[in-house]
Amino acid sequence: MTRPGVGVVYRARAFDAPDDPFTTSGPAFRYDDDLGLAVSDDGVITERGPFAAVAASHPDAPTIDLRAGLLLPGLVDTHVHFPQVRVIGALGMPLLEWLERCALPEEERLASTTYAATVAGELVAGLIAAGTTTSLVFGSHFAPAVDALFAEAERFGLRMTSGLVVSDRVLPEPLLTTPERSHDEAVRLAKDWHGRGRLRYAVTPRFALSASDDILAACADVLAVVDGACFTSHVNENNAEVATVADQFPHRDHYVDTYDHHGLLGGCSVLAHNVHPTDAELDVLAARGTAVAYCPTSNAALGSGMFSLRRHVAAGVRVALGSDVGAGTGFSIFKEGLQAYFLQHLLGADGLPLAAGHLLHLSTAAGAAALGLGDVTGDFSPGKQFDAICVRPPVGTSLDIGLRHAGSPEEALGKVFALAGDADVADVWVGGDQVASGGFVRPVIPP
């Protein structure tokens, strides 16, 4: 018999990185080679400490021994596009050409709800396989497709924030809506899904380039009526895009102001990219508590530019990682971390040197904070949900060999970011529910 409420004690070699290594001194990550985590039946971490001590205070709880692998907090993707799963990997185009030739034609296909449901299955499977337990997902322009996404995320128990993507100009006609319709559909979607289990709603104009002031005002109305909703969009990604937005909005101070003017920026707002910000824009983002989704593989694949992590940190702007699938080259947040490390290293004095602990923080706790979920997930402190992944590489692979010969926890964590892929993410838990086991994904709610 287990004590009421105490489901299980996990025993693991575990890393996490709760403290912001950019603003605090001290170790960038925590590591314990025999950690105990007591997790209640409802998925909350109730005690953390040396395994022997945690086991002693929970004598009736079963132990799950995960020491064959490394336990990490579930990864957080703060920017990933639902309808773009099938266009990952198109190279050689800048943003606006890529949108026109690759992304938008595929997004039109989600007008078919059957097609959308299939793609939703692919997206959710892709996130779980990569070890992403929490995500802010750019939805679809079609409300029934967004229903399909939320339903699939719920079936697999993912912690997901998403919403209807809205635009009323520039894009192909099937992707356009009106301020009134976008408002009504968003409110209906939020009523059905926001706050249901691990799901939340995000108000999502695609980008100012495809949004009039009227539809941005409608977005503000939705934010006002949906308590706790988030906001997400794109900003300052590409020079041609930035110039177009400046022409379209002559009365705004800058690109960030196109959103800020309508009161859209706050503590649960995430703007993707921000590769070309002015100092004034960084100041506004910092003042609003708005986070930036840094999407390193997308920025490189589209040739968008060099992201200045240094300027964001110096201005006090929160930053987390996004895969930006499908401009980004896959779901792996480990890969985004590695690409961030490469670029910041290559930038020399303009870059911010990143060590393995920085990468873990950016991949987990920083993402949770960006999404306003810092009290819920992102690390293994008591009171947080047990959102976790076990990295357990197949025997004989480079990662397996590397981990067996790592000289320190820091080295081991560096090898995870350098080498880990989907095949190494063996087990995945969200809120204590195991959604992948031995690499196999399974629904939490049977269909």
Q: Which residues bind Zn ion (CB under 5 A)?
A: 272, 324
Neighbours of 220 (CB within 10 A): 17
| Choice from 15, 29, 156, 207 touching ligand GUN (CB under 6 A) | 207
148 contacts 189 by C-beta, under 8 angstroms: no
Please report, to the nearest 10 degrees, the dihedral formed by the alpha carbons of residues 109, 191, 168, 301 taken in order.
Answer: -60
36 prior amide bond cis, ω within 30 = no
CB of 234 to ligand GUN, least distance (A): 4
CA gap 119, 157 in Å, rounded: 17
What are the residues facing 50 on neighbouring strands? Answer: 35
Here the tokens at position 145 are 């497709």
Q: Which of 285, 317, 438, 417 is nearest to 359 (CA)?
A: 417
207 binds, among ligand GUN, Zn ion, none (CB under 5 to 8 A by kind): ligand GUN
Residues with Cβ within 8 Å of residue 237, at least 6 apart in sequence: 95, 207, 272, 273, 274, 275, 276, 299, 302, 304
Strand 30-40 and strand 6-16: pairing? antiparallel
Indicate the residue among 48 and 206 with the shorter CB distance to ligand GUN: 206
268 binds, among ligand GUN, Zn ion, none (CB under 5 to 8 A by kind): none
| Choice from 11, 200, 206, 384 touching ligand GUN (CB under 6 A) | 206
Give residues 236-275 in contact with ligand GUN (rule: CB under 6 A). 237
In DSSP notation, 147-175 reads HHHHHHHHHHT-EEEEE-EE--SSS-GGG
What character string, x for contact with ligand GUN (CB under 6 A) and - otherwise, covers 310-329? --------------x--x--
Q: Degrees (nearest 5) of the Cα angle 85, 81, 132?
A: 85
CB of 107 to ligand GUN, least distance (A): 8
Indicate the residue among 324 and 336 with the shorter CB distance to ligand GUN: 324
206 binds, among Zn ion, ligand GUN, none (CB under 5 to 8 A by kind): ligand GUN
Q: Should residue 103 be labelled a site residue for ligand GUN when binding is judged by CB under 6 A?
A: yes
Indicate the residue among 134 and 232 with the shorter CB distance to ligand GUN: 232
237 binds, among ligand GUN, Zn ion, none (CB under 5 to 8 A by kind): ligand GUN
Indicate the residue among 192 and 257 with the shorter CB distance to ligand GUN: 257
DSSP letter at 44 equals B
CB of 3 to Zn ion, least distance (A): 46
CB of 204 to Zn ion, least distance (A): 10
In the block, residue with structure tokens 């201005």: 315
Give residues 117-136 in contact with ligand GUN (rule: CB under 6 A). none
Stretch that binds ligand GUN, among 95-103, 243-251, 369-377, 416-424 (CB under 6 A): 95-103
| Choice from 48, 234, 361, 392 touching ligand GUN (CB under 6 A) | 234
Indicate the residue among 241 and 324 with the shorter CB distance to Zn ion: 324
In the block, residue with structure tokens 């299955």: 121
- Terminal CA-to-CA distance of the chain, rounded, Å? 31
CB of 25 to Zn ion, least distance (A): 34
309 binds, among ligand GUN, Zn ion, none (CB under 5 to 8 A by kind): none
Q: How is the beta sheet containing 6-16 ordered, strand by strand?
A: 45-50, 30-40, 6-16, 63-73, 388-391, 425-430, 433-437, 440-441
CB of 83 to Zn ion, least distance (A): 11
Indicate the residue among 61 and 95 with the shorter CB distance to ligand GUN: 95
Percentages of the chain per state (helix, strand, coil), in multiples of 5: 40, 25, 35
30 binds, among ligand GUN, Zn ion, none (CB under 5 to 8 A by kind): none
Site for ligand GUN, rule CB under 6 A: 81, 95, 99, 103, 206-207, 234, 237, 298, 324, 327
